[in-house]
Amino acid sequence: MSSRSKVISESLETLENYEHELRGKRPVERIRMLRLLKTRQATTRQQCADLLGYSHRQVSRWWAQYQQEGLDDLLRLAPAHGRRGRMTAEAWQDLQEQMKTGQIARLQDAQQYLDEHWGISYSSVSSLSWRIQQQHVKLKTGRRQHRRSSPQQQAQLKKTSETC
Could you read off the pLDDT tens digit of each residue along the chain, which spans 164 residues? 445 545 888 999 999 999 999 888 888 999 999 999 999 999 999 999 999 999 999 999 999 999 999 999 998 887 778 888 888 889 999 998 988 888 888 889 999 999 999 999 988 899 888 888 888 887 666 677 788 888 888 888 887 766 66
The answer to whether the CB of 113 falls within 8 A of the CB of 98 is yes
Q: Which long-range contacts (CB under 8 A, 24 or more apart) does 52-59 make?
A: 54/29, 59/33
pTM flag (> 0.75) = no
Q: Shortest CA distance to 31 belongs to which of 82, 72, 91, 84?
A: 72
The answer to whether the CB of 107 falls within 8 A of the CB of 139 is yes
Distance from the first to the final alpha carbon of the chain: 80
The answer to whether the CB of 119 falls within 8 A of the CB of 112 is no
Calpha distance 97→62 (Å, rounded): 44
Calpha distance 5→38 (Å, rounded): 5
Calpha distance 21→95 (Å, rounded): 33
